Amino acid sequence: MALIVQKFGGTSVGNTDKIKAVAERVLKSHKQGNRMVVVLSAMSGETDRLIRLAKDVQKIPDQRELDMIVSTGEQVTVALFAMAVKEAGYDAVSLLGDQVRILTSNLHTKARIKQIDSELISKHLDQGKVVVIAGFQGVTEAGDITTLGRGGSDTTAVALAAALKADACEIFTDVEGVYTTDPNVCKAARKINRITYDEMLELASLGAKVLDIRSVGLAKRYKVPVHVRSTFTENEGTWVVEEDKNMESMLVSGVTYSKNEARITINKVPDQPGVAAKIFLPISDAGIIVDMIIQNTRAGAMTDLTFTVLRSDYDRAMKLLREVAKEINAESVTGSEDIAKVSIVGVGMRNHSGIASTMFQILAKEGINILMISTSEIKVSCVIEEKYTELAVRALHDAFALDKDNVPSEEVI
């Protein structure tokens, strides 16, 4: 007998028929003798609708009251789900975050889970009930309702799995799992069977949307095995797990891209101590996040400084930097929004050299110019012109043989 936490996203509980179907699916595991804890999102579109209602009344909604409103979406689905289980002849109980006592910080709309009481859940499980818990919400020490940020139900599920020492945490969604790349860009994209927490963190932060990134960090910390799979089929999905020796033989696990960034260069910056600090202080004060930074040194007393920011921050950043450039006597500020970042991710890179240079060769063969490069232990990213994004993704996916099941890349390149 296992304790299993199963989370279903908004599209899986989008109407009452879907809720009944999902209840049947949960009951199948329940009938096999497993202890089932179910975490639900609001019906798809509902959280957006609630936010719109709030903004209709108050342009910048009061954050405490906004949490009161948006947390109702999940209250509806958990109650309907418990009813569906009862209608099928079994017992269930729905619980909100404050009833369980999912204790959070008091940062409304972005609260962090501090502690979870497992007592009430265990009591209901002992009585043979399916326990249905509202995702995305918690309660502060003072008793105010909070939410965890958009997509937060994944985090609720993983946190519950950790607190209950569950045997597995299954995240049900509308795709089959985590893919080697975006299937919309590359038809050869393949579902990944097993991926490490670190790889998933890189993929999630680079734009893969299946799992909320905070839940992956939590899963890693508490070693919760997470199974991302489809609500609509019985197929095995992707297991997100700790690294083992086998996984290192795969040099590259996934190719990902992002078109959310823009590139800015400050030309001919005086090469003196303190200049970088003067440039980046106003940027960070404005809450603008900088990703890659490259500083070139050339003979003489001038240097160019190039970096990337989110495209949504581009205009603000350019305005601020034009002022800074004057102050520090830099020549000019130039930039481009037509860029994309293409990355390869894989734990196997840690112990193998030459992956980055292989990537550069592949891009060169396609005639794609690399504008910037950055690397980490398990990732290589290149900034290129946006119009080459799809071509680059397909070429890399193909050259690293990601369309083939579990073939170690060494044999192919």
Nearest CA-CA partner of 196 in 247, 155, 245: 247
CA 125, chain centre distance (Å): 30
> Which value, to the nearest 10 degrees, does the dihedral of the CA atoms of residues 310, 313, 319, 322 take?
-20
Can you tell me the distance from the alpha carbon of 413 to that of 357, in angstroms, rounded to the nearest whole number? 12
Q: For residues 192 and 213, which CB has a smaller minimum distance to Mg ion in the complex?
A: 213
**Among Mg ion, ligand ASP, none, what binds residue 237 when CB lies within 5 to 8 Å by partner kind?**
none
**Among Mg ion, ligand ASP, none, what binds residue 10 when CB lies within 5 to 8 Å by partner kind?**
ligand ASP
DSSP character at residue 388: G
Can you tell me the distance from the alpha carbon of 152 to that of 129, in angstroms, rounded to the nearest whole number? 25
For the bound state, the minimum distance from the C-beta of residue 204 to Mg ion, rounded and expressed in Å, comes to 11
**Among ligand ASP, Mg ion, none, what binds residue 42 when CB lies within 5 to 8 Å by partner kind?**
ligand ASP
**Among Mg ion, ligand ASP, none, what binds residue 73 when CB lies within 5 to 8 Å by partner kind?**
ligand ASP
Can you tell me the distance from the alpha carbon of 288 to that of 383, in angstroms, rounded to the nearest whole number? 19
What phi and psi, each to the nearest 5 degrees, are found at residue 281? -60, -50
For the bound state, the minimum distance from the C-beta of residue 9 to Mg ion, rounded and expressed in Å, comes to 5
Ordered DSSP codes for 180-218: SS-TTT-TT--B-SEEEHHHHHHHHHTT--SS-HHHHHH
For the bound state, the minimum distance from the C-beta of residue 153 to Mg ion, rounded and expressed in Å, comes to 7
Q: Which secondary-structure segment (H or E) carries 320?
A: helix 314-328
Contact 267, 330 (CB under 8 A): yes
For the bound state, the minimum distance from the C-beta of residue 197 to ligand ASP, rounded and expressed in Å, comes to 20
For the bound state, the minimum distance from the C-beta of residue 29 to ligand ASP, rounded and expressed in Å, comes to 22
CA 122, chain centre distance (Å): 30
Q: For residues 73 and 138, which CB has a smaller minimum distance to ligand ASP in the complex?
A: 73
For the bound state, the minimum distance from the C-beta of residue 41 to ligand ASP, rounded and expressed in Å, comes to 3
Contact 358, 399 (CB under 8 A): yes
Q: How many CB atoms lie within 10 A of CB 170?
A: 22
Q: For residues 151 and 237, which CB has a smaller minimum distance to Mg ion in the complex?
A: 151
**Among Mg ion, ligand ASP, none, what binds residue 257 when CB lies within 5 to 8 Å by partner kind?**
none
Q: For residues 73 and 177, which CB has a smaller minimum distance to ligand ASP in the complex?
A: 73
Q: For residues 151 and 254, which CB has a smaller minimum distance to Mg ion in the complex?
A: 151
Q: For residues 150 and 316, which CB has a smaller minimum distance to ligand ASP in the complex?
A: 150
Q: Which residues bind ligand ASP (CB under 6 A)?
A: 9-10, 41-42, 47, 73, 135-136, 150-153
| Token pair 């890399």 in the structure block, residue | 396
For the bound state, the minimum distance from the C-beta of residue 280 to Mg ion, rounded and expressed in Å, comes to 33
**Among ligand ASP, Mg ion, none, what binds residue 197 when CB lies within 5 to 8 Å by partner kind?**
none
Nearest CA-CA partner of 140 in 98, 95, 100: 98
Q: Which residues bind Mg ion (CB under 5 A)?
A: 9, 151
Contact 243, 196 (CB under 8 A): yes
**Among Mg ion, ligand ASP, none, what binds residue 136 when CB lies within 5 to 8 Å by partner kind?**
ligand ASP
Rounded alpha-carbon distances, angstroms, from residue 63 to 55, 110, 146, 192, 406: 11, 10, 9, 39, 47
**Among Mg ion, ligand ASP, none, what binds residue 61 when CB lies within 5 to 8 Å by partner kind?**
none
Q: For residues 42 and 342, which CB has a smaller minimum distance to Mg ion in the complex?
A: 42
For the bound state, the minimum distance from the C-beta of residue 154 to Mg ion, rounded and expressed in Å, comes to 6
Q: For residues 197 and 307, which CB has a smaller minimum distance to Mg ion in the complex?
A: 197
